[in-house]
């Protein structure tokens, strides 16, 4: 906010606010938002809109807010959220069961059963494994550490894999590049005829838990480790008509 207002002051400090035209305002907004994401453009647009509203409400009641024109509202509208691919449990199970290489299967399970990001899987080390608890060092959230909980069967397979491969201490359990890991996921998807990305598996962990009756607080704080519930709700996607009817039938049929 300080950045936008300081730039605005530098450009228009000699001008009366009421004399600034929408075209001049658009030119200024294009300058301060060039090369930024739509969400940043929207934030800076709203910042200036709030400034003009404040001036109108406290200093100049007749002041017209240049942000309120239909063209500017359309140009700086809220970015549309992407529509996520929601995988059914049967599809994910088939992907995992048809992946024969133990290393690859384990990586898929950690994402699909533990809700892990692909980067978290690649950074996992034996010292981070404590039975069904996996300790994430320097996680994306900025915390010192986070904990991932995995099913007992996956934990047993992970333990056996580490022992069989002789991986110890701070050695990476899956010493692959990010691109190499993505290719493993992509090839796993082709086994069932779908385009599969790593985050689709993490998202499945959340949607499957939610649709199985797990409280959203557990999905958010334990499985996905999100700071805000609103972020988790984006992961859960839209409920299709078929799924809605299935749940109603289960409840009342």
Starting at the earlier edge strand, list the strands of the sheet with 129-130.
Answer: 129-130, 133-137, 145-149
According to CATH, the topology of domain 89-252 is hpI Integrase; Chain A (1.10.443)
Query: Which residues are CB-neighbours of 135 under 8 A, at least 6 positions away?
Result: 128, 129, 145, 146, 147
Which pTM value belongs to this model? 0.63
**pLDDT, position 238:** 58
**pLDDT tens digit sequence for 211-227:** 888 888 888 888 888 87
Looking at residue 17, the DSSP 8-state letter turns out to be: G
**pLDDT tens digit sequence for 80-92:** 655 566 788 999 9
Confidence of residue 75 (pLDDT cuts 50, 70, 90): confident
Measure the CA angle with vertex 135, ends 130 and 207; round to 5°. Answer: 105
Confidence of residue 66 (pLDDT cuts 50, 70, 90): confident
CA dist., res. 19 & res. 33, Å (int): 22
Estimate the crossing angle of helix 89-97 against helix 198-211, to 10 degrees.
Answer: 130
Domain boundaries, the chain: 2-75, 89-252
Confidence of residue 250 (pLDDT cuts 50, 70, 90): low
**pLDDT tens digit sequence for 131-152:** 999 999 877 766 778 999 999 9
């Amino acid at each position: 906010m300080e950045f936008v207002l300081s730039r605005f002051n530098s450009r228009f400090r000699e001008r009366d606010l009421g004399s600034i035209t929408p075209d001049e305002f658009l030119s200024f907004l294009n300058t301060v938002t060039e090369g930024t994401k739509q969400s940043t453009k929207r934030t800076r647009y709203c910042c200036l809109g709030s400034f003009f509203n404040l001036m109108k409400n406290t200093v100049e009641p007749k002041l017209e807010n240049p942000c309120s024109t239909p063209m500017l509202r359309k140009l700086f509208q809220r970015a549309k959220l992407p529509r996520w691919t929601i995988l059914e449990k049967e599809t994910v199970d088939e992907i995992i069961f048809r992946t024969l290489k133990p290393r690859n299967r384990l990586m898929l399970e950690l994402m699909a059963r533990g809700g892990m990001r692909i980067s978290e899987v690649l950074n996992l080390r034996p010292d981070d494994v404590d039975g069904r608890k996996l300790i994430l060092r320097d996680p994306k959230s900025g915390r010192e550490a986070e904990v991932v909980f995995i099913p007992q069967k996956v934990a047993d397979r992970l333990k056996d894999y580490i022992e069989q491969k002789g991986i110890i201490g701070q050695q990476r359990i899956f010493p692959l590049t990010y691109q190499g890991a993505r290719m493993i996921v992509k090839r796993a998807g082709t086994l069932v005829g779908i385009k599969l990305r790593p985050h689709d598996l993490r998202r499945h962990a959340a949607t499957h838990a939610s649709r199985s009756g797990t409280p959203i607080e557990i999905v958010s704080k334990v499985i996905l480790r999100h700071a805000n519930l609103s972020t988790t709700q984006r992961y859960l996607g839209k409920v299709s008509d078929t799924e809605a009817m299935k749940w109603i039938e289960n409840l009342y049929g």
